[in-house]
Structure 1
Amino acid sequence: MDGGTNRIEGLCAAILCGGRSARMGRDKASVPFLGEPMLARLARRLSDIAPELVIAAGRKERSLPPLPAHAHIVHDERDYEGPLAGCTRLASAIAPQTRHVLLCACDLPLIDAHTIRALHAEVGDATAIVPVVAGRAQTLCSLWRREALEHFDRLWRCGKRKMAAVLDLPGLRLLDDDALAAIDVDPTFLVGCNDPVALARAEARASQDQP
């Protein structure tokens, strides 16, 4: 990953990790990935490219693995409200100078600096960049303009509870498999490890990529 001098100015990495992890069978944030808790790995890697790190950690009483000292942790008002609830907590925690926010679920251990830079380069005038892998929008690995976060709160107050609701917002740019290939982004890096099989597959891939 990139060092601190190569960070993307004005970028905040926001990790959402307040879910039940039902398909994994245990808390994904603490699941070991190559010997490191998955949340700790993702936070470390994202900190190499994003100057700001915010973690929407769900319930207040949960325990978290060791995280970078500069991480700002926010909590839901009630347990297991879902990722959209976590998104509504982000705006107040993000620095005023932030221009873009990378939304990531905590189960994306393969995402790297190249992928983030490639997505960031595609924002332009769009409200957000949302990858679409095999026909499924990856809202939990998307890049947003900071001012767009106010839409999340509006959706929540209108009774929306699913992340899919954000796909109806104006100005989104969806990158399908062909568009991702054109910017040299591996789509497998953008899809979460929701169960033990996906986790094992990702670990095998990461082991191959290590020098």
Structure 2
Amino acid sequence: MDQRIEGVTAYIVAGGKSSRFGRDKSLYPYEGKPLIEHVIGTLSLVFDRIVIVADESAKFAYLGLECIPDAVPAHGPIGGIYSALLHAAGPYSFISACDMPFLSAGLIRYMGTFIGTHDVIVPCVNEFYEPLHAFYSRACIDPLCSAIEENRRQIIRIFPAVNVRRIPEDEIRRFTDPSHVFHNINFIEDIAGPPGGMPA
């Protein structure tokens, strides 16, 4: 199924320092290509437009995608999300990390069915949210701005101020294995992937 989500731009937050990884993980090779290309490959099945949020745009030029700088540098992922929403032309954006090579197009499409009824559409597994695999509406801009001004960098801190659709584990399992899809790369050892290998 090649169902696309119209009018929504996908943003890849790639401006982190990768301090735990020890080098730039967005371009680190995995299964023959950089991690960010795995992310782009899945997102391109769902979205017509993909934008990278990162200050060092030159290193991503070969991808042929638009790259925008952080509007609030050195604020981590919350700054990247805020920057994306400020840039977005439409009412909703999908936000992804650059180091999640096992994304599921089916899950993202399912999450997209809740666009228009909630401000944040976000998976939650074992009571942990996945805010870098979520849809955000422009209604989140002001709460994000307030959180940044108050130096509250946990993205979930804005959730009480907006309407959140939590995607629980049983719904995620209809499309993919929760232990795989949100596996991100923080350390070199994580390159081996989650237990059991890559999901089908």
- Normalising by the smaller structure, the TM-score range is 0.7 to 0.9
Distance in 2, Cα, partners of 1:61 & 1:131: 29
Identity, in percent, stands at 26
Write out per-residue CA displacement over residues 120-143 of structure 1, whole angstroms, 9 at most, x where no aligned residue. Answer: 124451111111122211111111
Q: Give the counterpart of 2:101 among 82, 95, 109.
A: 109
Following the alignment from structure 1 to structure 2, what is the Cα–Cα distance between the partners of residues 172 and 123? Answer: 11
Give the alignment's Cα RMSD to 1 decimal.
Answer: 2.6
Matched, 1:19 2:22: no
1:192 paired with 2:184, answer yes
Q: Within 1, Cα distance between the matches of 2:52 and 2:83?
A: 10
- Confirm or deny that 1:120 pairs with 2:112: yes
Summarize the alignment of residues 137-156 of structure 1 with structure 2, pairs less than 5 Å apart: 137-156=129-148
Q: Which amino acid in 1 is paired with 2:175?
A: D
Taking the aligned partners of 2:69 and 2:183, their CA distance within structure 1 comes to 24
Q: 2:125 aligns with which of 118, 133, 147?
A: 133
Residue 91 (structure 1) aligns with: 85
Whole-angstrom distance in 2 between the partners of 1:21 and 1:60: 13
Query: Does the C-alpha gap of structure 1 residues 112 and 177 become closer, same or farther in structure 2, counting only changes over 3 Å?
Result: closer
Q: Are 1:15 and 1:56, in contact at CA under 8 Å, matched by a contact in 2?
A: yes
Bigger shift: residues 7-16 or 147-156 = 147-156
Give the deviation of 1:164 after TM superposition. Answer: 3.1
**Which residue of structure 2 aligns with residue 64 of structure 1?**
60
Aligned residues between the structures: 199
Secondary structure of 2:153's aligned partner: coil
Partner in structure 2 of residue 80 of structure 1: 74
1 CA distance for matches of 2:159 and 2:84?
A: 18
1:99 Cα deviation (Å)? 3.6
- The answer to whether structure 1 residue 177 and structure 2 residue 169 are counterparts is yes
Letter in 2 for 1:116: I
The one-letter code of the counterpart of 2:32 is G
Task: Give 2:67's aligned amino acid.
Answer: I
- Provide the residue aligned with 1:48 in structure 2: 45
Unaligned 5+ segments in structure 1 are none
The alpha-carbon deviation at position 79 of structure 1 amounts to 5.1
Residues 1:204 and 1:197: Cα distance change in structure 2 (over 3 Å)? farther
Q: Which runs of 5+ in 2 are unaligned?
A: none
Task: Give distance in 2, aligned partners of 1:8 and 1:203.
Answer: 31
> CA contact under 8 A between 1:15 and 1:55: conserved in structure 2?
yes
SS at match of 2:26: helix
TM-score, normalization by structure 1: 0.80
Residue 204 (structure 1) shift: 6.8
1:88-114 alpha-carbon deviations (Å, 9 max, x no partner): 21134222xx24211111111111321
Q: CA deviation at 1:22?
A: 2.2
Point out 4+ residue stretches in structure 1 off by more than 6 angstroms. none
Select between 108-117 and 79-88 the one with higher mean Cα deviation: 79-88
CA distances 1:41-88 after superposition (whole Å, capped 9, x unpaired):
21233123112212111x347733732x3x221112575320111122
Q: Aligned partner of 2:101: which letter? A: P
